[in-house]
Amino acid sequence: MSFHFSQRTFCNHLLNNFINRRTFSSFSYVIKNVLNSQHRSCVNNLLRPTRQVVQVSTRRHIHLQKIGVVGVPLNKGQDKQGVELGPKALRDNGLITSLEDLGHRINDYGNIEFENIEEDDKQPLIKNGQFLSHASKKISNAVKKVIQDGEICVTLGGDHSLTTGALHGHVQVQPDLVIVWIDAHADINPPAASLTGHMHGMPLSFLIKELQPYMSEVGPFDWVEPCISAHDLVYIGLRDVDAVERWLIEKLGICTFSMQELDDLGIAAVLKTALSTVDPEGKRPIHVSFDIDSLDPSVAGSTGTPARGGLTYRESQYIAEVIAQTGRISALDIVEVNPLLGTQMEQEKTISVAKDFALTIFGKQRCGTLPPRFTFSGRPS
């Protein structure tokens, strides 16, 4: 093989034709074995910057945490049976032992029990409003206690109405928290604007201070002190948003990354911008509210209100990894897993996707996970 142009031209030719340096490097083996030695050194020079571009991950060893798990078998915030079985499905799938295997200390407090409440019909805007108000109080107290005890609180839903209580309880201990809301839906409908009366579409409306002028009716939830600022909240994954919700998002200036922005910017830029917008200094505790319907139904179909065009499994893993790297997760809700919906395969997939999100947000990494103080001496242990 002979070349009639200079090394530089040759290298440029390769780069132009192989699109970029990274692609180019994958051809390096072939190229190195074909070229004569003079050209080989030219290729090696080109590969040098490539090694700098593709960084070797130097991740920390897993940071051990104390985690309190609270099951919230709540299904009255919507109208489909089965979502109350979410906590059992996640536990049966080994969520607790897998978290322990990462090295964390887990306290599983079991499920919160909810007594039946006689409904009056004075508050028709929120279906099961009396029950859900009592339930929210219980959830708030449970979450508050876990966080007071110095544990990260994981609530296993249950439908998304549980987050009114979970956030309310969390804020009592960590008033400085920020919220990352990962969901297909904005869940910010004031009761008077809700088309369904289902509370799982309203949980944020009771809590956001700036939204209260638009709340004509809080019904049994008048005990909930609005305790969160619209600027402490960021949405990721929205794609099924009611007009009133869209109007409120704009009016209150809530930082929002719908699937449209995600398509525009890519998941890495979205995460970086989302976290730095709600907390520019990167110091505040994070409450992650993870609705499984944020994922595409092809990945997590066993959920009550699926919406097409959602997050991929990889994007959900990336979100969890980046939040894990902040080291500031303080509470996690995993909601809307409904093990009675869809085929058996869909059910299993949905549960394992939810479990994987939890494991990753608590330190499991796709590049490999290092247990605390792990080293290898080269000898059998």
Query: What track of x and - describes contact with Mn ion for positions 25 through 64 (by CB under 5 A)?
Result: ----------------------------------------
Write down the catalytic residue from 159, 232, 245, 293. 293
Q: How many CB atoms lie within 10 A of CB 31?
A: 17
Identity of the residue, 108 or 187, whose beta carbon is nearer to Mn ion in the bound complex: 187
Taking CB under 5 A as the binding criterion, the range among 116-124, 247-255, 268-276, 287-295 that sits at the site for Mn ion is: 287-295
Identity of the residue, 108 or 291, whose beta carbon is nearer to Mn ion in the bound complex: 291
Residue 109: exposure state from Cβ atoms within 10 A (0-12, 13-18, ≥19): middle
For the chain, what percentages of helix, strand and coil (3-state, to nearest 5) are there? 45, 15, 40
Q: How far is the CB of 122 from Mn ion (least distance, A)?
A: 27
Measured distance CA(32)–CA(17) in Å, rounded = 17
Taking CB under 5 A as the binding criterion, the range among 73-81, 147-155, 159-167, 267-275 that sits at the site for Mn ion is: 159-167
Identity of the residue, 187 or 346, whose beta carbon is nearer to Mn ion in the bound complex: 187
Size of the site for Mn ion (CB under 5 A): 5
Q: How far is the CB of 305 from Mn ion (least distance, A)?
A: 8
User: Which among 72, 157, 166, 168 has a CA at the least distance from the CA of 113?
Assistant: 72
Identity of the residue, 183 or 346, whose beta carbon is nearer to Mn ion in the bound complex: 183
Using rule CB under 5 A, residue 291 touches Mn ion: yes
Write down the catalytic residue from 84, 108, 151, 187. 187
Residue 356 is among the residues annotated as catalytic for this protein:
no
Write down the catalytic residue from 39, 185, 198, 287. 185
Taking CB under 5 A as the binding criterion, the range among 110-118, 232-240, 247-255, 283-291 that sits at the site for Mn ion is: 283-291
User: Which among 131, 95, 123 has a CA at the least distance from the CA of 192?
Assistant: 123
Residue 297 C-beta-side C-alpha neighbours within 13 Å: 13
Query: Do 71 and 111 form a contact (C-beta atoms < 8 A)?
Result: yes
Residue 200 is among the residues annotated as catalytic for this protein:
yes
Query: What track of x and - describes contact with Mn ion for positions 174 through 193 (by CB under 5 A)?
Result: ---------x-x-x------
Residue 293 is among the residues annotated as catalytic for this protein:
yes
Query: Do 267 and 315 form a contact (C-beta atoms < 8 A)?
Result: yes
Taking CB under 5 A as the binding criterion, the range among 28-36, 72-80, 84-92, 290-298 that sits at the site for Mn ion is: 290-298
User: Which among 178, 152, 144 has a CA at the least distance from the CA of 64?
Assistant: 152
Residue 13 is among the residues annotated as catalytic for this protein:
no
Query: Do 292 and 337 form a contact (C-beta atoms < 8 A)?
Result: yes
According to DSSP H, which parts of the chain are helical? Answer: 7-17, 21-26, 28-34, 37-53, 86-92, 95-101, 129-148, 162-173, 243-252, 259-265, 267-278, 313-326, 344-361
Residue 181: exposure state from Cβ atoms within 10 A (0-12, 13-18, ≥19): buried
User: Which among 175, 171, 141, 147 has a CA at the least distance from the CA of 72?
Assistant: 141
Taking CB under 5 A as the binding criterion, the range among 32-40, 169-177, 286-294, 314-322 that sits at the site for Mn ion is: 286-294
Q: How far is the CB of 182 from Mn ion (least distance, A)?
A: 9
Instruction: Map the footprint of Mn ion across residues 63-122, applying CB under 5 A.
Output: none
Residue 79 is among the residues annotated as catalytic for this protein:
no
Write down the catalytic residue from 291, 296, 333, 346. 291
Q: How far is the CB of 185 from Mn ion (least distance, A)?
A: 5
Cα Rg of the chain (Å, integer): 24
Among 91, 137, 160, 284, which residue sits at the site for Mn ion (rule: CB under 5 A)? Answer: 160
Q: How far is the CB of 19 from Mn ion (least distance, A)?
A: 40
Query: Do 355 and 94 form a contact (C-beta atoms < 8 A)?
Result: yes
Q: Which residues lie near Mn ion (CB under 5 A)?
A: 160, 183, 185, 187, 291
Write out the catalytic residue numbers: 160, 183, 185, 187, 200, 291, 293, 336
